[in-house]
Amino acid sequence: MRRAKPAVRRAAADDDAVIRTRRLTKRYGTLTAVDNLDLEVHRGEIFGLLGQNGAGKTTTILMLLGLTEPTSGEARVMGLDPEREPRLVKRRVGYLPDAVGFYDGLTGRQNLRYTANLNGLRKAAAESAMVDVLEQVGLTDRADDRVDTYSRGMLQRLGIADALVKSPDLLILDEPTTSIDPIGVVEILDLLRRLVHERGLAIMLSSHLLTQVQSVCDRIGIFAAGKLVGQGTVDELATAFGDGTASIEVGLELAPADAGRAEAVLRALTGVTDVTAPARDGDPWQVAVRPGDAEGRVRQEILVAAVEHSLRLTTLRPVVPSLDDIYRAAVMRTAA
C-alpha cells in the first residue's frame, strides 16, 4: 500500500539541481540499503557515486527512477517526484543499467528505432535523433550491423545512444565501464565529457572504480554501508578526510653538493613540515605543508626562495590527492 505523500513541489525556475534528495531511506526488512540520503546533482556536471558493490548505489538509482519506493524521505528528479510521477521522470532521464540488454538479432539502428518508438517519437524525429546519437557515440559505421557482433565497449556506447535518443536532460549510468578494455574505458569517459560539453547534460555515474571516477567526475559522493559519508570535489573530500597536510612537488636542477642547501632553504619556509629529497636524479622533491590551505602561499614562497638562493627551479606543482587514499580514510572513519 502506498504511503500518503504531500503534494509534489516543483523546483524553482532558477534552481539548477536536477537531483535532490532529503533523508531518502530504503529498508528491506532489517537491512537498511540507503540511510537518510541527502544528495544534490546540478546541471552541467558529472557526479560520481563511489562505493563498493552493496554500498547502496544501485538502490539509490532505482528510487530516483521510480523503480522502487523509498521507505521514507523524499526525492526530486528534474523537479518531479519519481514515486508519484515515474513516467514523467523516465521521459526526462536516460538510464544505462549495469547489464545493458539489446535484441541480438537486430542491428544497432533497429534497436534504437525500437526505443524511439517506445518513447513516442515521431518517425522523422526518431530517424534524425538516431543519426545524431550514433555519430556522437562513434557507431555510425557499425549502426547497421547486428548487435551480437558488437564488443562490450560498443554495446556500452550503444547503450548510451539508447539513453540519449529521447533527448534527456539527465543521464544516469550504473557501472558503465565494467568489463571494458582500457582503450574502451578511455573512449567511454571521453564520450561522457563531450556529452556534458555539447548537450549541457547532467550525468550521474555510479562506479566502484576509483581512478575512473576521479578522472571524469566534477564532484563525488562516497557511499559506505548505505550512507553517503562525504560529497564534494576531490580537493574538498581531501580536506574533509585528510590529515590537514598538503603536498607540493618541487623540481630542482642541482649539483650534488647543493642538495643540502636546497633542503635547508625548503625546510625554513613557514608551514613546511617535512622535505623529502628525490630517490633518483630527475625526480622531484616532496614538500609537506600544514595546514593544507597554506599550500598556495608556500608555492609562492618557494618561487621567491629559489631566486634568492640561486636554486634552478624546473617544476612546481601541488600534488593532486589520491581518491584511493580519500576513500579508505572516509570508510575507516565511518566504521570507527
Summarize pLDDT for 256-296 with one digit per residue, the tens: 899 999 999 999 999 999 999 998 888 999 999 998 889 99
The residue with greater pLDDT, 299 or 210, is 299
Domains of the chain by residue range: 17-239, 244-320
Q: Does 15 have pLDDT greater than 80?
A: no
Q: Does 14 have pLDDT greater than 60?
A: no
Q: Name the percent of the chain lying above pLDDT 70.
A: 95
Main-chain dihedrals φ then ψ at residue 43, nearest 5 degrees = -60, 145
- The strand pairing partners of 318, in sequence order, are 248
**Topology of 17-239 in CATH?**
Rossmann fold (3.40.50)
At 99, the pLDDT band (50, 70, 90 cuts) reads confident
At 10, the pLDDT band (50, 70, 90 cuts) reads very low
pLDDT in tens, 310-322: 999 999 999 987 8
How confident is the prediction for the chain on average, in pLDDT?
Answer: 89
At 26, the pLDDT band (50, 70, 90 cuts) reads very high
**Topology of 244-320 in CATH?**
Alpha-Beta Plaits (3.30.70)
Whole-model pTM? 0.78
> What is the structure's pLDDT at 206?
92
Annotate 13-29 with b (16+ C-beta within 10 A) or e (fewer): eeeebbbbbeebbbeee
- SS3 state of residue 254: coil
Please give the average per-residue pLDDT across 82-101, as a whole number: 90
Q: Do domains 17-239 and 244-320 have the same CATH topology?
A: no
Provide CB contacts within 8 A for 120, sequence distance 6+.
Answer: none
> What is the structure's pLDDT at 109?
94
